[in-house]
Amino acid sequence: MGLRGARERRVTTGGVELCVAELGDPARPTVVLVHGYPDSKEVWSEVAARLADRHGCHVVLYDVRGHGGSTAPRPLRGGFTLEKLTDDFLAVVDAVSPGRPVHLVGHDWGSVQSWEFVTAARAEGRIASFTSVSGPSLDHLGHWLKRRAARPTPRRLAQLLGQAARSWYVTALRVPGLPERVWHGPVGRRWPAFLARAGKVPPGDYPTRSVPSDGAHGAWLYRDNVRSRTRSPRADAHAHAPVQLVVPLRDAYLSPSLYDDLERWVPDLTRRTVDTGHWAPRTRPDLLATWIADFVAVHEKGPATSGVATAETPRPAPRTGADRYRGRFAGHLVLVTGAGSGIGRATALAFAGAGARVIAVDRDAEAAVRTARTAREVGAQDAWSETVDVADRSAMEALAVKVAAEHGVPDVLVNNAGVGLSGRFLDTTPEEWRRVLDVNLWGVIHGCRLFGAQMADRGQGGHIVNIASAAAYLPSRSLPAYSTTKAAVLMLSECLRAELAGAGIGVSAVCPGVIRTHITSTTRFAGAGPEEQRQRQAQATRMYRLRNYPPEKVADAVLRAVVRNRAVVPVTPEARAARLLSRLAPGFLRTAARIGSRPSPRR
């Protein structure tokens, strides 16, 4: 996306000129994005464009002194202290939002210095909220180190040693002349390749050609501040604005334990985690933009909030096994097919309870609307309904285009829509075969192909869950068509898991056994007349009701599969037992399949 269309200005302060860019309407809430090391403001370009275009914010980015298009102080030594960085920030804020507080967002060293802004008395009243990504306060870090050194329990020692190993580069940056030589030499040339390989950063307008000088100048951020501030941390470093803490779980440089004591410094703290590495502004811009916009909406006051989506206080969600994931999927976009009832509805509501944005897809329009409405009630950040028959290729293609344009690329796709078909192979007509294949298999193929391609192109990872069945590995003479489609879904999932792993996309096949859903009331029985159809449906419904295994437990298994990136997840005791037997004693299952004759779809 880049910073195309941005308005640029120069702000002079403390002997340097800062390059400032603006996007969006200045009458809207102002969000100031501060970059880290060795970056320039372009690290935020993907997030900035989304905040301005999709969320209606006035976005301000500036190159920190000595970086990008901003000039460097002379002399360099002593020119990058937190006090002078605070002067720069206040000068930018006075220029772009005079008399009105801004919403501050910082990443890496942008977050480190932003902690200074949000705890400094002279910046009080100028900051409405602060979102911190991958960067602690040096004052808080100093107290964190002192407490662990003073009382070195095994856990605290492990935390100290772990963070010391991650922070090896801090010592290297303090060696006179070394950062300058390596950044203007091999590191500067190879930095883009390193980010793409180790940081999983997709190509784009970042990093810029100023990387060598940014890296060399930015070394003074560490030299001027780290040792002095961590050795003598301020005792009054309390935040005077609400703080949203975003912790990337795979950050190679900062341990999540650094923020263990943060509540003592931040009276109003919101914590979030994201399963990505250090450069979250590049790897997860959709999610960050959503979280930032939601936090801005909650803490923006006055008439300027009109038109900005405001966060509502969610009603308590029903207690389920998925409660352990409360907030785990906050801001994630989750699309569930067959969400009007049964497993699909339970899964959509489970993700909603975990804070996700939910798209409920079903061929029954009213059922999809009901699921979306309930999803908002139980905690979804937002929810929408779509009416689609997953067997219709053109309709699915249109859905994929619409979702991407209106909501972005899904972070999680759950292909759940399915139909039941029971009866002997010789009694099953070609038309019945075509319908069950179109929905149970082609519906999954359409979803994986369309949304999987979007995830891969976005380059930010994701997860696909395909609802298969224990029938996928449990032969039955009464379920040949249904079992065939579910076995195909299981193998498709295994193949996709191998193919998409390199793109950071997980694929899981969830295989329920007998679940209490309404599928029995719509299951067709091949070779049966109308009256026998009704009798068999009633019989299957009674059996499922007696089994009484709720779809909410399958939904919990779906969330667990995504969190743990599980490949195959049998649900219910009979599904787990059948999976074990299919691997240890497949002959026994083949023999058992010859016994009995009453069909009933396992789902």
Active site residues: 482
Q: Kindly give the interhelix angle for 551-564 and 342-353, rounded to the nearest 10 degrees.
A: 50
Q: Which residues contact 365 (CB under 8 A, 6 or more apart)?
A: 385, 387
- The rounded distance, in Å, linking the Cα atoms of 599 and 39 is 62
User: Which strands sit side by side in the sheet containing 127-133, from one edge to the other?
Assistant: 7-13, 16-23, 58-62, 30-34, 102-107, 127-133, 243-248, 269-274
Helix or strand (DSSP H, E) at 270: strand 269-274
Q: Which residues contact 221 (CB under 8 A, 6 or more apart)?
A: 37, 80, 109, 112, 113
Structure tokens at 287: 């999610």
Closest CA to 23 of 69, 68, 61: 61
Strands 333-337 and 382-387: unpaired
User: Is-contact 161 128, C-beta < 8 A?
Assistant: no
User: Is-contact 603 544, C-beta < 8 A?
Assistant: no
Residue 588, CA distances (Å) to 127, 474, 578, 585, 593 in order: 68, 11, 10, 6, 9
Residue 555, CA distances (Å) to 58, 333, 419, 558 in order: 39, 16, 18, 5
User: Which strands sit side by side in the sheet containing 412-415, from one edge to the other?
Assistant: 382-387, 357-362, 333-337, 412-415, 462-467, 505-511, 568-570
Q: Kindly give the interhelix angle for 443-458 and 480-500, rounded to the nearest 10 degrees.
A: 10
- The rounded distance, in Å, linking the Cα atoms of 45 and 23 is 10
- The rounded distance, in Å, linking the Cα atoms of 412 and 347 is 11
Strands 243-248 and 333-337: unpaired
- The rounded distance, in Å, linking the Cα atoms of 542 and 101 is 62
Question: 3-class SS at 382?
Answer: strand
Q: Kindly give the interhelix angle for 342-353 and 365-377, rounded to the nearest 10 degrees.
A: 30
- CA 527, chain centre distance (Å): 47
Q: Spell out a b/e string for 199-210, using b for 16 or more CB atoms within 10 Å of the CB, else e.
A: bbbbeeebbbeb
